[in-house]
């Protein structure tokens, strides 16, 4: 219905074009206002006319809200009436093309429900991945479930991420265990701030033990929380480590571990509980009331070594394997640990006066960080090896030898045994391994009354007596260091090399 207006014959009615000129709008806009009945108008015999008085009152506060849905319906109807053939031609053309695919950002799945038979649950996709949580739509009507999924998407996703963000680092037992000894662990950083620090070598060892031994045991025992780990549970863990693992077919998957090693392993776990006590998460450490396993005579097997003088001239001959030669030469003349040898880098060599030294900036313990003297004979062999293999960084990390393992060390000490006349049975009886090189070096120094040299070069922890605690050897200067070094070289020349 047209907007009512009071008709006064004395007032001239405005035409369509006249009103457009007055309002400074185009004909289309005015026609839409009329069709939407948003402007007062009068239907006369001459067509639609507009009263100046009605327009004056209307323009003060015009109602211009347009119903978009009605507008689109009216526009579509107008096109259909005006050009039905053209509209049909466009529709036939569009039928040859499919609408662009738009991925659905949610997934509905049915879950049984006693009351409704089933209800739809929704899971959302975010950044190409499905969020590992689902929400009930409380309906078995698919259309209603879709509406719920669309309308509640942002709310539910934000709720999920906020919940995850609010989790405390101690919330999950297995999360703590997996991350505690991991690289860049926030737990170890907190321990470091409190004065408790472990070296990188120990961190890797602890991390492997926790993830490969302790966590599988806890899962087998169906442990879900820290409060479930008590002393009896740890005692069963000790027992499992001692007995080893035997498969159903009778084959041994892992041999039993020695008591002293198990006791050491338990200390890894105890450190975690100590941290949690410090943070106020638990009150007691179950490892403290766990008795250490007793070490029997058969469990404690001391590493043996060769007799003093047994290696005389061995390193002056040509060996079959170059790497075995160099590994054996280094450990028997420098007293370095296996892990320290693997980390030797070209940049770690330096000189003090005319003596070569090797810096060991990282070791299995704080005391292992030191420098060791390198005999000229040994240094020449090392530099020749580096030139031959074009080594510029790590000495033993070549493409064909990325990491030294037990087989590589065994080859080295087995070949050395052949040159000393030792059989495999003798090596087994005397328990001579690759690590025996450190024992031989210390024994050799003791035989020449140079036993205190271990505090200089072996990286051992100084014993706790008052004399040694108050004797700061790092303050004695390079003169004393070089004096000890040259005595070491003299002993090596006498018992190892064929020096005149």
Burial 228-255 (b: 16+ CB within 10 A, else e): ebeeebbeebbebbeeeeeeeeeeeeee
Q: Token pair for residue 264?
A: 């050491």
Residue 390 φ/ψ region, left for φ over 0, alpha for ψ in the -120 to 50 degree band, beta for the rest: left
Reduce the DSSP state of residue 427 to 3 states and report it: helix
Cα separation, 328 vs 447, in Å, equals 21
Cα separation, 195 vs 141, in Å, equals 61
Cα separation, 178 vs 272, in Å, equals 11
Q: What is the pLDDT of residues 396-447, one digit of tens each?
A: 875 555 567 788 889 999 999 999 889 888 888 888 899 888 888 888 888 8
Q: What is the DSSP string of 408-425?
A: HHHHHHHHHHHHHT--HH
Q: What is the pLDDT, as a whole number, of residue 379? A: 94
In terms of Cα–Cα distance, which of 303, 237, 338 is closest to 443? 303
Q: Token pair for residue 343?
A: 């980390």
| Cβ atoms within 10 Å, residue 357 | 20
Q: Return all residues near 472 (Cβ < 8 A) that are at least 6 apart.
A: none
pTM across the whole model = 0.51
Total residues found in the chain within this entry: 500
Q: What is the pLDDT of residues 125-174, one digit of tens each?
A: 887 778 888 889 999 999 999 999 999 988 888 888 776 444 444 457 78
Q: Return all residues near 224 (Cβ < 8 A) that are at least 6 apart.
A: 173
Reduce the DSSP state of residue 243 to 3 states and report it: helix
Cα separation, 60 vs 224, in Å, equals 73
The mean of the pLDDT values for the chain is 81
pLDDT band (50, 70, 90) for residue 299:
low
Q: Return all residues near 332 (Cβ < 8 A) that are at least 6 apart.
A: 311, 315, 437, 440, 441, 496
Cα separation, 497 vs 494, in Å, equals 7
pLDDT band (50, 70, 90) for residue 375:
very high
Residue 82 has pLDDT above 80, yes or no: yes
Domains belonging to the chain, first-starting first, are: 1-80 (no CATH), 108-165 (no CATH), 173-278 (no CATH), 314-495 (1.10.443.10)
């Amino acid at each position: 219905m047209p907007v009512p207006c009071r008709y006064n014959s004395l007032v001239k009615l405005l035409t369509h074009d006249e009103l457009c000129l007055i309002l400074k709008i185009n004909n289309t806009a005015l026609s839409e206002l009329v069709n939407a009945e948003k402007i007062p108008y009068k239907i006369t015999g001459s067509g639609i006319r507009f009263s100046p008085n009605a327009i004056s009152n209307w323009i003060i506060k015009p109602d211009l809200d347009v119903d978009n849905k009605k507008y689109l319906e009216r526009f579509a109807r107008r096109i259909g009436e005006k050009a039905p053939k053209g509209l049909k031609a466009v529709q036939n053309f569009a039928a040859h093309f499919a609408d662009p695919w738009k991925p659905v950002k949610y997934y509905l799945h049915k879950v049984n429900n006693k009351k409704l038979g089933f209800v739809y649950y929704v899971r959302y996709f975010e950044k190409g991945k499905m969020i590992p949580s689902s929400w009930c739509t409380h309906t078995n009507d698919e259309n209603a479930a879709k509406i719920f999924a669309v309308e509640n998407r942002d709310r539910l996703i934000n709720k999920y991420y906020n919940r995850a963000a609010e989790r405390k680092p101690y919330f999950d037992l297995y999360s703590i265990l997996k991350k505690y000894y991991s690289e860049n662990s926030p737990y170890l950083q907190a321990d470091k701030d409190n004065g408790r620090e472990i070296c990188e070598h120990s961190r890797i060892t602890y991390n492997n033990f926790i993830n490969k031994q302790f966590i599988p045991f806890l899962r087998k025992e169906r442990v879900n929380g820290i409060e479930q780990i008590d002393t009896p549970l740890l005692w069963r863990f000790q027992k499992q480590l001692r007995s080893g693992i035997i498969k159903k077919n009778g084959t041994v998957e892992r041999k039993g571990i020695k008591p002293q090693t198990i006791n050491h392993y338990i200390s890894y776990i105890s450190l975690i509980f100590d941290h949690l006590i410090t943070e106020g998460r638990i009150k007691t450490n179950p490892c403290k009331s766990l008795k250490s396993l007793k070490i029997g005579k058969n469990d404690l097997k001391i590493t043996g070594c060769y007799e003093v003088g047994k290696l005389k001239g061995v390193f002056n001959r040509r060996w079959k394997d170059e790497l075995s030669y160099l590994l054996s030469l280094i450990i028997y003349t420098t007293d370095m640990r296996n892990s320290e040898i693997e980390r030797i880098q070209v940049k770690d060599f330096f000189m003090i006066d005319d003596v070569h030294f090797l810096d060991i900036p990282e070791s299995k313990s704080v005391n292992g960080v030191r420098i060791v003297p390198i005999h000229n004979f040994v240094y020449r062999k090392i530099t020749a090896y580096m030139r031959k293999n074009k080594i510029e960084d790590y000495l033993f990390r070549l493409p064909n030898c990325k990491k030294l393992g037990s087989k590589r060390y065994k080859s080295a000490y087995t070949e050395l045994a052949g040159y000393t006349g030792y059989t495999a049975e003798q090596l087994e009886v005397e328990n001579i391994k690759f690590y025996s090189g450190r024992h031989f070096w210390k024994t050799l120094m003791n035989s020449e009354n140079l036993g205190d040299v271990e505090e200089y070069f072996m990286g051992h922890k100084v014993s706790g007596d008052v004399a040694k605690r108050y004797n700061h050897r790092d303050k004695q200067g390079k003169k004393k260091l070089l004096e000890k070094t040259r005595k070491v070289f003299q002993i090596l020349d006498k018992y190892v090399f064929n020096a005149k």
